[in-house]
Amino acid sequence: MVDKKAFHNLSYGMFIITSKMPDGRLVGCIANTFQQVASDPVKVSVALNKDNVTAQAVEGSLEYGVSVLSNDATMELIGTFGFHNSLETDKFSDVEYSLDTLGLPWIEEACCANFSVKATEVIDVGSHFLFIGTIEEARTLDAEAPLTYDYYHKVLRGKTPKKAASYLGDLNEDAKDASGEDNSVLEVIADEGEGACAPKYGWQCKICGYIVEMDELPEDFVCPICGAGKDMFERIAL
Ligand code: FE
């Protein structure tokens, strides 16, 4: 028996993985799979979905940048890199960044460290490529503590997109009770709402987790984070 909920006990960080297309276009995505995997020599790895433009860019260039997100990362920043396609969106147009010695973008805002990696091995692990590599350059930034996946889910109320390595299919549906409410979200609300007055209501995007506080959404409402329409929002207590 495989209890999928066991996977919820795995701890992850949150990272913006960047790379460059052959034509020089800068690309990037969100991943929770960057880690150090050996000490002598120091090696790291990241798993990226094969359908991601960033994965294809890394497969071609064998180089990637890693920006370690911190607790002050906004849903707007995460949404820009996590819920859009790098070929359709210039993800760097409204983001502060600099270039490392490989010419890869390092995100300057809401990040506590950056790494530049040269991939030495590419392993096909099914839905994802695992890029193992060596560190070319690294630095720390003056920022908040590193953002964890748990904090992203419970405090920022973020969702796991289908292309993430940790996506578990319909497990989120399993977490819903008969009323259709998401217990994990309600648990957070209950913690925050102790002693509060009458509950307020808002709408949450089922794709990216973005929350808007208003009684009714206009027909033409579009999620500012992932672009989903009104029909992808569900009513929640705030
Ligand atoms: Fe959204």
Q: pLDDT value at position 226?
A: 81
Burial of 93: CB neighbours in 10 Å, binned 0-12, 13-18, 19+: exposed
- Rounded to the nearest angstrom, the distance between the alpha carbon of 75 and the centre of ligand 1 is 10
Q: pLDDT value at position 181?
A: 28
Burial of 166: CB neighbours in 10 Å, binned 0-12, 13-18, 19+: middle
- Rounded to the nearest angstrom, the distance between the alpha carbon of 211 and the centre of ligand 1 is 8
Q: pLDDT value at position 190?
A: 29
Q: pLDDT value at position 183?
A: 28
Pairwise CA distance, residues 156 & 150, whole Å = 9
Q: pLDDT value at position 194?
A: 38
- Rounded to the nearest angstrom, the distance between the alpha carbon of 158 and the centre of ligand 1 is 9
Q: pLDDT value at position 198?
A: 58
Q: pLDDT value at position 174?
A: 38
Phi then psi for 184, rounded to 5 degrees? -65, -35
Q: pLDDT value at position 180?
A: 29
- Rounded to the nearest angstrom, the distance between the alpha carbon of 207 and the centre of ligand 1 is 5
The token pair that represents 104 in the structure block: 């890869």
pTM value is 0.79
- Rounded to the nearest angstrom, the distance between the alpha carbon of 208 and the centre of ligand 1 is 4
- Rounded to the nearest angstrom, the distance between the alpha carbon of 103 and the centre of ligand 1 is 31
Q: pLDDT value at position 171?
A: 56
Q: pLDDT value at position 84?
A: 83
The token pair that represents 43 in the structure block: 């090696």
pLDDT per position in the chain (238 positions), as tens?
999 999 989 999 999 999 999 999 999 999 999 999 999 999 999 999 999 999 999 999 999 999 999 999 988 898 889 888 888 889 999 999 999 999 999 999 999 999 999 999 999 999 999 999 999 999 999 888 999 988 888 877 777 777 788 777 655 433 333 322 232 322 222 233 334 455 578 899 888 888 888 888 999 998 888 888 898 899 988 7
Which helix (H) or strand (E) segment holds residue 60: the answer is helix 53-61
- Rounded to the nearest angstrom, the distance between the alpha carbon of 79 and the centre of ligand 1 is 8
Separation of CA 120 from chain center: 24
Q: pLDDT value at position 26?
A: 96
Q: Which residue stretches of 86-170 are H helix?
A: 149-154
Show the beta-strand stretches assigned E in 78-222.
97-99, 105-107, 111-124, 128-140, 201-205, 211-212
Name 210's Cβ contacts closer than 8 Å, sequence gap at least 6. 75, 79, 204, 223, 224, 225, 226
